[in-house]
Homo-oligomer: A and B are copies of this chain.
Amino acid sequence: MTSADDRATLVSVARAAGVSRQTVSNALHAPGKVAPETLERVLAAVAELGYRPSLAARQLRTNRSRTLGLRLEHWGGGISGSVLDRFLHALVDEAQGRGYRVVLFTADDDSGEVARYGELLSSGQVDGFVLTSTHHGDARTAWLLERSVPFATFGRPWPSPGAEQEVSRDHCWVDVDGAAGTRAATEHLIAAGHEAPAYLGWPDGSGTGEDRRLGWAQALARAGVDPAAAVELKVPDSTAAAVEAVTAALSGDGGAVGAGGAPTAVVCASDSLALGARGAAARLGRPLEVIGFDDTPVADAIGVSSVAQPLGEAATLAVDLLLAQVEAGPDGPPPPRQHLLAPRLVLRGAP
């Protein structure tokens, strides 16, 4: 590898071939303008010196940066925050395998993220975007669709009342079927003899949260149990809040949404909540089967069952969907496609 200081330049190639810089440029970009034997001499010098036209110069010609943009969310702490970081690792690997890089930026909210899109697009620094954390009333996808900017989201569009809803649903996305995950978890617990597993979820208002709750309710209903009669707890995504809520539920205290008695098993919307549920049961010396969500490193470390998202597959498909738009030929981009991936139930015994 040549060093940054002595690498070949247009000037050194021109000198080696005994031609002008313009002739080198023509040989590379408009070879028809160059006499055959001159062309041969220039290309031999290019090959011998290992000359590579700079990216900045190539970009001016191809209008392609081979770079994908992604907003890196602020570090929020918490056990489940690592899910998007794991997706990022998979995305960078996948993009690199396809010859693309990932450039990161931050923003405080949707409008800040849209402002960054504008900056990156107008300066030609990205070919498209990957979006994470789709949510009710997402302003980002409508903005990108209006401008025909290539993008794909990890997370489906969550319907919400609003005029742009139908438009913004029609784009490329990859998501994981959360309901299928909690349904499998609940069915596993019912098969193991727990008549009415409880649900420990988040407060209303999260599309992801409602999806995960749905799978639990579906599995109960299929087993002939009215979800309204089972224990349901709603707490913020913190282990401490989960400890408190589950302690109350196991003690027969109020606080549970449903009318059931003390649960013997609980399906959780996250591993943070699962950790709290297990802590509460251990402290009270009560048996409680717990299944979390996201299969975080902590679930693995302490032996809690959990629902694993196929993050590698999600990243591969997101890059596929995005690059199909970026690299679309003369016939224009393909119609939007969507992938809803099945999660996997990972069963563990306590260590």
Contact = CB atoms under 8 A, between A and B. Distances in A.
Contacts of A77: 297, 300
Interface size class on chain A is 35 or more
A292 to B, nearest CB: 12
A190 to B, nearest CB: 28
A59 interface: yes
A101 interface: yes
Interface in A118-135: 118, 121-125
Given A104-B102, A279-B302, A56 B52 contact: no
Given A56-B124, A297-B77, A301-B272, A3 B146 contact: yes
A301 B79 contact: yes
B121 A106 contact: no
A103 interface: yes
A222 interface: no
Nearest to A5: B147
Nearest to A52: B122
A74 B52 contact: no
A6 B180 CA distance: 44
Contacts of A58: 123
A146 B88 CA distance: 32
Nearest to A238: B301
A122 B4 contact: yes
Given A103-B101, A103-B102, A275-B301, A56 B67 contact: no
Contacts of A121: 4
Contacts of A284: none
Nearest to A65: B56
A279 B147 contact: no
Interface stretch (A17-25, A89-97, A321-329): A89-97
A283 B351 CA distance: 9
B239 A302 contact: yes
Given A60-B57, A123-B55, A279 B351 contact: yes
Contacts of A297: 77-79, 81-82, 298
A340 interface: no
Nearest to A1: B118
Contacts of A272: 301
Interface string A91-118: 0110010000111111000000011001
The 10 closest A-B pairs by CB, nearest first: A55-B123, A56-B59, A239-B301, A75-B89, A85-B85, A298-B298, A4-B147, A54-B124, A3-B147, A1-B118
Given A2-B122, A92-B105, A101-B103, 8 more contacts: A2-B118, A5-B148, A55-B123, A56-B60, A56-B124, A79-B297, A101-B104, A238-B301
30 contacts: A1-B114, A1-B115, A3-B147, A4-B121, A4-B149, A7-B122, A54-B60, A56-B60, A60-B60, A67-B103, A72-B92, A75-B89, A77-B300, A78-B297, A78-B301, A79-B301, A82-B82, A88-B104, A92-B105, A92-B106, A96-B105, A96-B106, A101-B105, A101-B125, A102-B104, A239-B301, A240-B351, A243-B351, A275-B301, A279-B302
